[in-house]
Amino acid sequence: MSEMFSEEWMGKFMEEWNKEPDLSDALAKIGFNSVIAYGFDGDDAPKGYISIENGKATAAGAFDGQDINWDLRATPENWGKWMKKPPGMMGLGVAYTSRKLKFNVGDYSAMVKDPRMATPFIKSFTVMGRA
């Protein structure tokens, strides 16, 4: 297994993203476009990014200063835990309010209030576990 959020890992994540209809197809239905960065709490910059166009991942790799819409941070231990056992809506809320999952960029409240976005977001943790 490659290092979490590395160039190789993000490439595999992109492949898995596009194979998961509950993620890519669900986001395509709402015309979701974003660049999402992932990294570790306390680091200056994210480690990896994935670019989503109309629900489908079109690019991914090591973060290199891309303009981003979302920047998600957690400890390596928490990322690993959520990849093994993805949080539900309640677990996601607890992770956010306890600052175990940080949105350095992006609006958690707007996302979680829209089930068309929240449900695929939770599914993204399952897909991460396949990368």
How many domains does one find in the chain?
1
Looking at the chain, the whole-number percentage of residues with pLDDT higher than 90 is 85
Residue whose pair of structure tokens reads 């695929």 in the numeric block: 120
**In the prediction, which pLDDT does 54 show?**
97
Average pLDDT over residues 98-119: 90
**In the prediction, which pLDDT does 109 show?**
85
**In the prediction, which pLDDT does 114 show?**
86
Confidence of residue 110 (pLDDT cuts 50, 70, 90): confident
Q: What is the CATH number of the domain that holds 69?
A: 3.30.1050.10
Domain assignment present for 48: yes
Residue whose pair of structure tokens reads 């991460």 in the numeric block: 128
User: Is the pTM value of this prediction over 0.95?
Assistant: no
